[in-house]
Each structure stands twice: as C-alpha cells, then as structure tokens.
Amino acid sequence: MITINENFKALSENYLFSEIARKVASYKAQNPKAEVISLGIGDVTEALSESVIQALHTAVDEMADRATFRGYAPECGYDFLKNAILENDYLARGISLSSDEIFINDGAKSSLGHFGDILSANNIVAVSDPVYPVYVDTNVMEGRKITYLACPPEKEFAAQIPDGKVDMIYLCSPNNPTGSVLNRGQLTAWVEYARKHKAVILFDSAYEAYISDPTIPRSIYEINGAKEVAVEFRSFSKTAGFTGVRCGYTIVPKKLQAYDKNGSGVSLNALWRRHQSTKFNGTAYIIQRAAEAVYSIQGKRQTLATIAYYMNNAKTILDGLKRAGFKAHGGVNAPYIWLETPTGMTSWEFFDKLLNECQIVGTPGVGFGPSGEGYFRLTAFAKAENVEKAMERMMALFYS
Ligand code: PLP
C-alpha cells in the first residue's frame, strides 16, 4: 500500500491568495466596469531591461548553432555568472567568498524549500511572525517543530532573539511582508546567538537591492563570524524582474558546519553540493546569460532605474497613506508597505472595504501569521499611474 508523507496533513490550508482571487473575481463579475487596481501580489510589473533582453537573444542564437550549442549546465552554475556575482555583490562590498561557495538556482524559493533536506527533521525552527509562509510550510512538510519569534511593532517588527535554544533561524531582510530591515546591531546579535548555540541562520535577502540606507547590511556576511553560521539566499526576481525568468543563488560558505549525531562537524557546502548535483540539473544557459547581463554597466544602470521606479511608487503610497491618516511602516528600504488597519477593523474587513469602496486589492496581514492581524500589506510593484490613482481613492474615502 502506497502511503503519504503524513506531515502534509499538518499543513494549514493556504487560502490567502486563492481567497483574494475569489473575492476579486466575484467583485469584478458584479461590477464589470470597475477599474480594479492591484497592489496585492508581490510580483513585478516592469519589463526586463534591454541588457537582459539582448543577452537572452544572443544566448538563444548560440543555442541555434552546433558550434556554440550548450547541453546540461553545471549543476551549481556557470563560472561566468558566479564570477559576476562574486565581483559585484561581494568583493565590491569587501566580502571575500570563492566561486564554489555560490550555487546558482532557479530562484530563491526552491532552494529555501529544499535546504532543509540536508538538515535533521529534529531541528527546531524559528521564524518571525508575521512571516513569508514558505519558511513555515516547507518545514512542516519535513516534520519540524516551529517556534514563532516575536516581532513587536515598537521594535519596527524586528525578529527578537528567543530565550530558549533554536537550531534553524529564518531571517528575512528587507522583510516580506513588513518592509522592515535588520540593522547591523540586530544582525550581529543573531550571529552571536547562532555561534553560541551552534545554530544556522537562513538569511533571505531577496529584496537587498531595495535597501537605500547605506548603514543597513545587504549581506549577512557583512557581519563578523557570519560565514560560520549563515546561508544566504538571493534572487534576480525582484532585483531585475526575473519572477517569470527564474534565477537566483545561494551562498553556502565552506566554513559553515552542522553536526552529525556524534557531534562531529560536517560541511554544509559539501552536503548542499551533493544535494544539488543529485536533485537539480542546473539553471538554463540562456537564463544564466540573462542574469550575467544584470551586472554589465548598462544592465546595472537599467536595473537601478527600475528599482527607483518601484521605490518611487513606495513613496507615493507612504505619503498617500500618511495624508489619509494611516500609520504605515516599511516602504523605505523595501517595496512593501505594512499599514495598520483602522481601529476595530480586521485585516479581512479592511480588504473588503478597500475592494468594495476603492477598488483596490491588497493583502490582509493575518495571511502572514497571527501577529499580522490588524495590518495590511500593499506592494510598490505596480504602474505608477495606478498607484497615484489608488492613493487618490484612499484619500477620498479615508481623509477626514
Ligand atoms: N523570499 C521572499 C521573502 C520572497 O518574498 C520571495 C518571493 O516573493 C522569494 C523569496 C522567492 O523568490 P523567487 O523564488 O522568485 O526567487
């Protein structure tokens, strides 16, 4: 008899985005002329940069010629892309790594989801509340116990160090959904905790390109000692509009160890390499060339312009919300704005009000965890003209 992985039964029903889609579809069916503006899903709206498009065309042409055709890519990535990452994202910022500490993938989600394969199911996992749900669900699938870290509003939603011992710590900075960032002191405290407790930090910096404050670390490896306790997950999705193209990378330093049942240290770099070469057959050549183009001089200029466009939207949202009388967080070093719903209104009630009376779609905070109740996420990933229109509508409804 074939049996299932029972852990899947412990997953909570993930109805957040399907419920949003259902409500929006029903509203549109009843109001076919309504112009609904989505500031809900965290997906990019702007086209790929010219540099990326050019690189894609060139790589496609290479595949059309027997002399330049490529088959299977190296499982952990081509050197041309790893070297571009190394030089631009790390060496240029004073962080020394070697190219065999970089693992190219098809976006951060799959590596975030699979990294647990190389760690024991007995490890205790710590996540923030509210949280990007992938950290929770992938660990529930593997049967791990999850502890929620307090993220108090008065501490700008920074995940607080627990009193007890945890083994796997997910930190997301800039944060989805709260738009907050962890500063150097906070990251240093986490690195010290991980070193003391022989824990590992899984640092998700998918939104690092949105950091404008030069004092905020973009990489956990800016913190002394982090290479011994942290893995870093990065993505071209939000940096360069690759959500539909799919490319990211994971840094697993060679100094990073976990322990076997006898307490002997084992290299996570070696285990992750073994994992990827067994379960992954490499990111497409064409896509890796496209990612490489993000680091060309033109590519960098174009990428920064698109990020500035989204961050200008974030400013419009923040200013609009403040004028309309809301308390809002984030939106300065992150493309997410985390606003407090009006007194006495749950995040789903606010969702309904915004949809029905302003024709705006956002994301109810409670969908990111119990502490998200009373909050609401808006994203800066939208057309600027729609963002302006959305803010005018909110002003008209809420300004008093
Ligand atoms: N990490 C965070 C915090 C995210 O918000 C997302 C996507 O929304 C991802 C990782 C996954 O990104 P991707 O798989 O597109 O690289």
Give pLDDT, residue 15.
Answer: 75
Distances (CA, A) of 224 to 85, 142, 192, 269: 21, 31, 9, 19
Cα–Cα distance for residue pair 330/157, rounded to 1 Å: 10
In the reported structure, the alpha carbon of residue 223 is separated from the centroid of ligand 1 by a whole-number distance in angstroms of 23
Dihedral sign from CA coordinates of 161, 114, 278, 59: negative
Q: Which residues line ligand 1 (CB under 6 A)?
A: 42, 107-109, 132, 172, 176, 204, 206, 235, 237, 243, 248
Segments making up each domain of the chain, as ranges: 6-47+298-398, 50-296
On average, the pLDDT of the chain sits at 97
pLDDT grade, residue 221 (50/70/90)? very high
Pocket test for ligand 1, best of 138, 204, 207 (most atoms within 8 A of CB): 204
Give the tens place of pLDDT for each residue, 319-345.
999 999 999 999 999 999 999 999 999
**Residues sharing a CB contact under 8 Å with residue 292, sequence separation 6 or more, in sequence order:** 55, 80, 81, 84
Counting every residue written for the chain, the total comes to: 400
Counting atoms of ligand 1 from 1, which one is nearest the CA of 235?
16
Q: What crossing angle do the helices spanning 297-323 and 384-398 adopt, rounded to 10°?
A: 10
Cα–Cα distance for residue pair 266/68, rounded to 1 Å: 39
CA 295, chain centre distance (Å):
20
Contact between residue 242 and residue 234 where contact means Cβ atoms under 8 Å apart: no
Counting atoms of ligand 1 from 1, which one is nearest the CA of 112?
10
Contact between residue 228 and residue 255 where contact means Cβ atoms under 8 Å apart: yes
pLDDT score of 51 more than 90: yes
Cα–Cα distance for residue pair 273/101, rounded to 1 Å: 9
Counting atoms of ligand 1 from 1, which one is nearest the CA of 109?
14
Amino acid at 325: G
Burial of 355 (0-12, 13-18, 19+ CB in 10 A): buried
Pocket test for ligand 1, best of 132, 137, 175, 182 (most atoms within 8 A of CB): 132
Backbone φ and ψ for 139, nearest 5 degrees, come out as -80, -35
Q: Which CATH architecture has domain 50-296?
A: 3-Layer(aba) Sandwich (3.40)
**Residues sharing a CB contact under 8 Å with residue 32, sequence separation 6 or more, in sequence order:** none
Rg value, the chain, Cα: 22
Which structure tokens are listed for 259?
Answer: 């322990």
Give pLDDT, residue 399.
Answer: 84
> How many other C-beta atoms lie within 10 A of the C-beta of residue 153?
15
Dihedral sign from CA coordinates of 331, 312, 48, 102: negative
- Among 12-16, 46-50, 169-173, 253-257, where is mean pLDDT lowest? 12-16
* Average pLDDT of the residues in 33-42: 94
Give pLDDT, residue 24.
Answer: 96
Cα–Cα distance for residue pair 181/183, rounded to 1 Å: 6
Give the tens place of pLDDT for each residue, 361-392.
999 999 999 999 999 999 999 999 999 999 99
Which structure tokens are listed for 199?
Answer: 């824990």
pLDDT score of 234 more than 90: yes
Give the tens place of pLDDT for each residue, 173-202.
999 999 999 999 999 999 999 999 999 999
Backbone φ and ψ for 365, nearest 5 degrees, come out as -60, -30
Give pLDDT, residue 18.
Answer: 87
Cα–Cα distance for residue pair 280/77, rounded to 1 Å: 11
Q: Name the nearest CA neighbour of 98 among 265, 221, 278, 276.
A: 221
Tell me the CA end-to-end span of the chain in Å, nearest whole number.
Answer: 65
In the reported structure, the alpha carbon of residue 167 is separated from the centroid of ligand 1 by a whole-number distance in angstroms of 22
Counting atoms of ligand 1 from 1, which one is nearest the CA of 132?
3
Give the tens place of pLDDT for each residue, 61-120.
999 999 999 999 999 999 999 999 999 999 999 999 999 999 999 999 999 999 999 999
pLDDT score of 16 more than 90: no
In the reported structure, the alpha carbon of residue 49 is separated from the centroid of ligand 1 by a whole-number distance in angstroms of 20
Cα–Cα distance for residue pair 255/253, rounded to 1 Å: 5
* Residue corresponding to tokens 């993938």: 105
* Residue corresponding to tokens 């994301």: 363
Residue having the nearest C-alpha atom to atom 11 of ligand 1: 109
The percentage of the chain sitting over the pLDDT mark of 90, rounded to a whole number, equals 97
Neighbouring-strand partners of residue 204: 172, 233
In the reported structure, the alpha carbon of residue 331 is separated from the centroid of ligand 1 by a whole-number distance in angstroms of 17
In the reported structure, the alpha carbon of residue 210 is separated from the centroid of ligand 1 by a whole-number distance in angstroms of 14
pLDDT score of 214 more than 90: yes
Overall CATH class of domain 6-47+298-398: alpha beta
Pocket test for ligand 1, best of 110, 115, 205, 238 (most atoms within 8 A of CB): 238
Contact between residue 219 and residue 73 where contact means Cβ atoms under 8 Å apart: no
Give pLDDT, residue 165.
Answer: 96
* Residue corresponding to tokens 């690195």: 191
In the reported structure, the alpha carbon of residue 108 is separated from the centroid of ligand 1 by a whole-number distance in angstroms of 6
Cα–Cα distance for residue pair 303/114, rounded to 1 Å: 29
Higher pLDDT, 42 or 113: 113
pLDDT grade, residue 42 (50/70/90)? confident
Pocket test for ligand 1, best of 105, 115, 128, 134 (most atoms within 8 A of CB): 134
DSSP string, 251-299: E--TT-EEE-TTS-EEEHHHHHHHHHHHH-----HHHHHHHHHTTSHHH
